[in-house]
Amino acid sequence: MMIGYARVSTINQNLDRQLGALRAAGCAKVYAEKASGRDVKGRPELEKAIDALGTGDVLVLAEWDRATRSMTDGIAIMQRVNARRGHQGSRQTAS
């Protein structure tokens, strides 16, 4: 199953473009939020999206920078996604 994640940083921004892209990609579930990526409370909808992944599922992002704050953060997210999907090692990547 493909699970999507979208985020905008402020309440004045619109999620429509990202949500449309995720639906067009065939995501069965989409998690979305309006929150700053710098928020110390994290990104709860991203956490839910990762937690929803099962073996063989794919996390789909409309834009890479909507999920990550840095390269280190992105690598940590990919490792968590791979663990949820049942993969070991560093050769697999999330979408």
Phi-psi region of 89 (alpha: psi -120 to 50; beta: other; left: phi over 0): left
In the predicted model, what is the mean pLDDT of residues 42-62?
Answer: 91
- Given the residues 9, 36, 70, 90, the one annotated as active site: 9
pLDDT at 50 over 60: yes
Instruction: Look at residue 38 in the predicted model and tell me its pLDDT.
Output: 67
Instruction: Look at residue 87 in the predicted model and tell me its pLDDT.
Output: 61
Considering only the C-alpha atoms of the chain, give the largest distance between any 2 of them, rounded to a whole number of Å. Answer: 40
pLDDT at 93 over 60: no
Give the C-alpha separation, 11 to 16, whole Å. Answer: 13
pLDDT at 83 over 50: yes
Residue 9 is among the residues annotated as catalytic for this protein: yes
Q: Domains along the chain?
A: 2-85 (3.40.50.1390)
User: What is the pLDDT confidence band of residue 94, given thresholds at 50, 70 and 90?
Assistant: very low
